[in-house]
Amino acid sequence: MANKVAGKVISRFEGEGFTLAGIKMLQPDKARMEKFYSVHEGKPFYEGLMNFMLEGPVIAIVWEAEDAISKTRSIIGATNSKEAAPGTLRNLYGTDNRRNLVHASDSPESAEKEIALLFNKEELAGTSASADKLAKV
């Protein structure tokens, strides 16, 4: 997180009652990011998104909570930081439509796929929850 707000993001989720299930910093590689964002391939913003994601390390986090996906999406706000509701993470710390601070899974299926691309099962602590209780940020 180039703008040095990782602690604020983590604190926000913990303050909202989420349990940390996995966390690590990694340098994204092109093959993994192409799989991760395959749903956007061919869209006008895809190349810019890929370039941004490959710029530097990312912090991958898996959170656990009841109704985690919808709660996460309300905490982070709209994709375009300038349109995100006041107080959401993207409104507070994002810079634009694609450099919007965080990614969050939009469905249990996406969460399962995205978590599997970034974590081995051994890296997820104390969770046997279904994907609807997990959110990847």
Cα 51 to Cα 33: distance, rounded to the nearest angstrom: 10
40 belongs to the catalytic site: no
Buried b (16+ CB within 10 A) or exposed e, 30-62: eeebeebbeeeeeeeeeeebbeebeeeebebbb
Burial category of 126 from C-beta neighbours within 10 Å (exposed 0-12, middle 13-18, buried 19 and up): exposed
User: Of 79, 99, 103, 106, which one is the catalytic site residue?
Assistant: 103
Residue at 90: amino acid letter: R
Residues with a catalytic annotation lie at 103
